């Protein structure tokens, strides 16, 4: 049986005075607190004028909030540690947008997470940085998910939050990586919470996210059938169940044609969730529903559809009830046999959780976008998009309004309660309100039942994915897991052999070698990617890896074969270097004017904006140069460019400019430069960062074959320059109509 949300909680003393993650100790927005002599004080105890669109958390007397401030190129997301009592900032850490297409200041749509075992703070920000800080604010580990694993960004800016279970930190995002993970899919990544080493990645859904639906449904943890699993919605319209120990997709249920952003909740032996897109089985839009999930995870009753991949698909018979309702982001709350849910128009409904029958409804606002309801001691605390905080007593047959407070700004984040205080973050301020009382009681949370591991059944190489540069090596630890994915221990020795999966479309091998459990790339190792199989007795496991190149780097594409014929263009083409992140589906290699060149694909609107990275995310102090060409006409021309240290330097065909940008809304500078379609130009760029952190991004462009001009065409200053970043190539094909072309690419150390 699934123990569900209540069973996930630790012992009660861990939660007394703490709210360590977005939806609290029970993962469902329900507080363990009750009060004697309750009275709400509408005058805040303290406020701070910092914008935010998420929910703060509290652990051991500190409040951790995630907000943003500044404008233009100086806009920063800010993680702050505060004194819970006074709101005084103890420390803060700023991060800065880079190369995302986040629009309308949709920043900090998510929440930090505190690990109760270590006190460490985890954050996955809007533009794909996954970070772990210790209580003093020092970095424990960090990943640029965009540059390391090909995470895509979207204008809606949804980030969500990291989920910690045992020693595993779970991060999610839509990624386009390499090999089998090249297609854009909604994926989950399990990292060692202490070291940041990748344990596994999981692709439980099928197909690309619908209409760029970057789901931020937070994984819901449970113990089922002797293993730890999580449930979540995906950008491809599925509710999925995934094994936490090894990332194995267990089952999925297709419910909608669009993404599911809300987080599900558990009610007994059922899962309750909502979506706001077109239903999979009819033309109606939206559904609040309950499904009976299987409890025998070795035989969940579904099958993997041929050619689809993902988890086994369950049939329609698991649905217990449905209620027509539209909501994309706001998650349901279940308490005392009742389901509380708001729709996108601000209507709150209360349903019987057993039957799905509506008990009452209340119109609270004219819009509800993100925030989810909070429950404590018989009352709902609801923040609405227009900026109202509403408290309802829901102990009777009908709700009764206790208080309604107009806040400054809009409310997109959920409210949070801890130790008799209520916290709300709006687009203008962070608020702390007092719940006056004469005493607080904490209900005892059910114990967290952890599975008992069985005998070893497989190996898990850690890290499970490596990036090597020539002349470097990586130690790999081999963990042992039982058949249910539970971690047991380690083995010291194993036999390593190169491994090509039978289903691999590209039969490639990594140019590296193992000595013991250490993998090394020789000084002359070639750019390559592949997999390895470790075997120890009856146990085995798979490692994936890439070898990139040290600087100087050059690529003219002449050495590539063109073995395939494009089904539409009818031209022969080949694929770019396999280690390039996200390259295979965004670019191909074809012959043009007697030379082999890199060309932007037009197969998917999802990839009309294509960023592809070549080397390691920590590269810096380099100069890039390439021959580039746009396609198009006088009306529509594409954009072609290079990525240098997190800056995109591009020839923008329609505007006839050389442009330097990162996020277009916050850092963009350009100068006029006449650009003709189907004419080759040479583009050169470098980034120089001073000791005080400021920098200058320089670029020059000239028609190919002409002498290089002495002066830079454009020089852009940036007060908070990016100190490092992977080199890459960039192409934008409006509505996937016009290609771009790149040739003779070089990356050299700055002189």
- Which tops the pLDDT comparison, 445 or 82? 82
- Whether residue 616 is contained in a domain is answered as yes
What is the arithmetic mean of pLDDT over 504-533? 95
pLDDT beyond 60 at 7: no
434 lies in the same domain as 478: no
pLDDT beyond 90 at 334: yes
pLDDT tens-place string over residues 639-676: 999 999 999 999 999 999 999 999 888 899 999 999 99
- Indicate which CATH number applies to the domain containing 354: 2.130.10.10
What is the arithmetic mean of pLDDT over 103-131? 94
DSSP state of 127: T
User: How far is the CA of 16 from the CAs of 25, 38, 180, 422, in angstroms?
Assistant: 10, 18, 45, 15
Q: Which long-range contacts (CB under 8 A, 24 or more apart) does 516-519 make?
A: 517/475, 517/476, 517/477, 517/478, 517/492, 517/493, 518/473, 518/474, 518/475, 518/476, 519/466, 519/468, 519/473, 519/474, 519/476, 519/543, 519/545
- Whether residue 449 is contained in a domain is answered as no
Residues 6+ apart with CB under 8 A from 283: none
Q: Which long-range contacts (CB under 8 A, 24 or more apart) does 711-717 make?
A: 713/658, 713/671, 713/673, 714/658, 714/660, 714/669, 714/670, 714/671, 716/660, 716/669
- Whether residue 182 is contained in a domain is answered as yes
pLDDT tens-place string over residues 424-436: 999 999 999 999 9
pLDDT beyond 70 at 25: yes
- Whether residue 450 is contained in a domain is answered as no
pLDDT at 12: 44
pLDDT at 737: 86
- Whether residue 663 is contained in a domain is answered as yes
127 lies in the same domain as 219: yes
432 lies in the same domain as 366: yes
- Indicate which CATH number applies to the domain containing 599: 2.60.120.560
Give the domain range for residue 514: 458-547
162 lies in the same domain as 180: yes
Per the structure block, which two tokens stand in for 232?
Answer: 């979540």
pLDDT tens-place string over residues 301-328: 777 665 566 899 999 999 999 999 999 9
Structural domain count, the chain: 3
166 lies in the same domain as 249: yes
pLDDT beyond 70 at 210: yes
508 lies in the same domain as 600: no
207 lies in the same domain as 347: yes
565 lies in the same domain as 524: no
253 lies in the same domain as 361: yes
What is the arithmetic mean of pLDDT over 78-98? 97
- Whether residue 40 is contained in a domain is answered as yes
Which of 519, 547, 575 is a domain's end point?
547
- Whether residue 448 is contained in a domain is answered as no
Per the structure block, which two tokens stand in for 729?
Answer: 């190539």
pLDDT tens-place string over residues 603-641: 887 788 889 999 999 999 999 999 999 998 877 899 999
Whole-number Å distance between alpha carbons of 638 and 654:
7
Which of 520, 547, 574 is a domain's end point?
547
* Burial of residue 594, with CB atoms counted within 10 A of its CB: 0-12 exposed, 13-18 middle, 19 or more buried: exposed
Average pLDDT of the chain to the nearest whole number = 93
- Whether residue 362 is contained in a domain is answered as yes
326 lies in the same domain as 351: yes
Confidence of residue 706 (pLDDT cuts 50, 70, 90): very high
Which of 507, 528, 547 is a domain's end point?
547
pLDDT at 546: 97
What is the arithmetic mean of pLDDT over 42-61? 97
634 lies in the same domain as 656: yes
688 lies in the same domain as 726: yes
Per the structure block, which two tokens stand in for 163?
Answer: 């989920």
CB 639 within 8 A of CB 736: no
pLDDT at 223: 95
pLDDT beyond 60 at 6: no
């Amino acid at each position: 049986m699934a123990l569900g949300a209540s069973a996930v909680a630790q012992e009660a003393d861990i939660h007394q005075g703490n709210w360590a993650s977005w939806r609290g100790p029970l993962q469902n927005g329900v507080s363990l607190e009750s009060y004697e002599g309750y009275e709400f004080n509408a005058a805040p105890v303290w406020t701070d004028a910092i914008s935010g669109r998420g929910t703060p958390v509290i652990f051991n007397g500190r409040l951790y909030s995630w907000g943003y401030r500044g404008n233009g190129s100086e806009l920063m997301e800010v993680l702050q540690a505060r004194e819970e009592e006074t709101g005084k900032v103890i420390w803060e850490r700023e991060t800065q947008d880079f190369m995302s297409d986040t629009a309308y200041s949709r920043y900090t749509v998510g929440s930090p997470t505190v690990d109760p075992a270590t006190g460490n703070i985890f954050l996955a920000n809007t533009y794909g940085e996954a970070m772990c800080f210790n209580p003093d604010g020092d970095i424990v580990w960090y990943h640029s998910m965009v540059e390391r694993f090909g995470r895509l960004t979207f204008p809606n800016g949804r980030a969500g939050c990291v989920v910690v279970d045992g020693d595993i930190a779970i991060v999610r995002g839509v990624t386009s990586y390499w090999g089998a993970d090249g297609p854009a899919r909604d994926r989950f990544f399990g990292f060692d919470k202490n070291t940041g080493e990748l344990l596994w990645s999981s692709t439980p859904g099928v197909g690309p996210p619908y209409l760029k639906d970057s789901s931020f449904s937070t994984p819901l943890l449970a113990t089922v059938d002797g293993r730890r699993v999580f449930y979540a919605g995906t950008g491809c319209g599925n509710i999925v169940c995934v094994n936490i120990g090894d990332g194995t997709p267990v089952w999925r249920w297709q419910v909608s044609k669009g993404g599911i952003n809300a987080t599900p909740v558990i009610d007994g032996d059922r899962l309750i969730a909502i979506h706001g897109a077109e239903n999979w089985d009819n033309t109606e839009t939206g559904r609040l529903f309950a499904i009976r999930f299987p409890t025998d995870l070795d035989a969940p009753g579904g099958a993997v559809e041929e050619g689809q991949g993902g988890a086994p698909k369950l049939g329609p018979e698991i649905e217990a009830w449905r209620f027509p309702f539209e909501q994309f982001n706001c998650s349901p709350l279940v308490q005392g046999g009742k389901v509380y849910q708001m729709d996108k128009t601000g209507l709150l409904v209360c349903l019987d959780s057993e039957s799905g029958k509506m008990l009452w409804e209340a119109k609270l606002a004219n819009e509800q976008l993100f925030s989810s309801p909070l429950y404590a001691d018989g009352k709902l605390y609801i923040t609405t998009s227009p900026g109202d905080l509403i408290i309802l007593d829901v102990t009777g047959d009908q709700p009764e309004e206790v208080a309604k407070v107009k806040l400054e700004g809009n409310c997109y984040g959920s409210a949070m309660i801890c130790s008799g205080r209520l916290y709300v973050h709006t687009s203008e301020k962070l608020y702390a309100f007092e719940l006056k009382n004469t005493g607080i009681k904490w209900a005892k949370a059910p114990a967290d039942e952890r599975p008992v591991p069985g005998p070893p059944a497989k190996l898990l190489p850690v890290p499970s994915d490596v990036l090597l540069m020539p002349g470097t090596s990586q130690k790999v630890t081999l963990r042992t897991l039982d058949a249910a994915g539970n971690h047991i221990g380690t083995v010291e020795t194993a036999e390593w052999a190169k491994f090509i999966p039978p289903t691999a479309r590209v039969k490639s091998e990594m140019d590296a070698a193992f000595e013991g459990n250490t993998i090394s790339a020789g000084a002359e190792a070639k750019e390559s990617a592949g997999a390895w199989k470790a075997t120890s007795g009856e146990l085995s496991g798979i490692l994936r890896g890439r070898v990139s190149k040290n600087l100087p780097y050059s690529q003219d594409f002449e050495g590539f074969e063109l073995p395939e014929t494009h089904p539409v263009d009818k031209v022969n083409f080949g694929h770019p270097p396999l280690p390039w992140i996200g390259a295979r589906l965004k670019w191909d290699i074809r012959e043009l004017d007697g030379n082999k060149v890199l060309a932007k694909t037009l197969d998917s609107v999802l990839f009309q904006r294509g960023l592809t990275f070549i080397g390691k995310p920590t590269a810096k102090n380099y100069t890039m140069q390439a021959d580039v060409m746009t396609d198009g006409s006088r009306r529509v021309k594409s954009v072609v460019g290079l990525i240098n240290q997190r800056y995109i330097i591009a020839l923008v065909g329609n505007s006839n400019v050389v442009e330097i940008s990162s996020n277009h809304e916050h850092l963009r500078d350009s100068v006029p430069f006449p650009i003709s379609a189907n004419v080759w130009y040479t583009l050169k760029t470098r980034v120089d960062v001073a000791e005080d952190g400021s920098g200058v991004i320089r670029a020059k462009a000239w028609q190919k074959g002409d002498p290089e001009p002495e002066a830079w065409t454009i020089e852009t200053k940036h007060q908070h320059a990016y100190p490092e970043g992977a080199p890459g190539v960039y192409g934008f094909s409006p509505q996937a109509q016009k290609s771009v072309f790149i040739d003779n690419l070089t990356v050299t150390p700055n002189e």
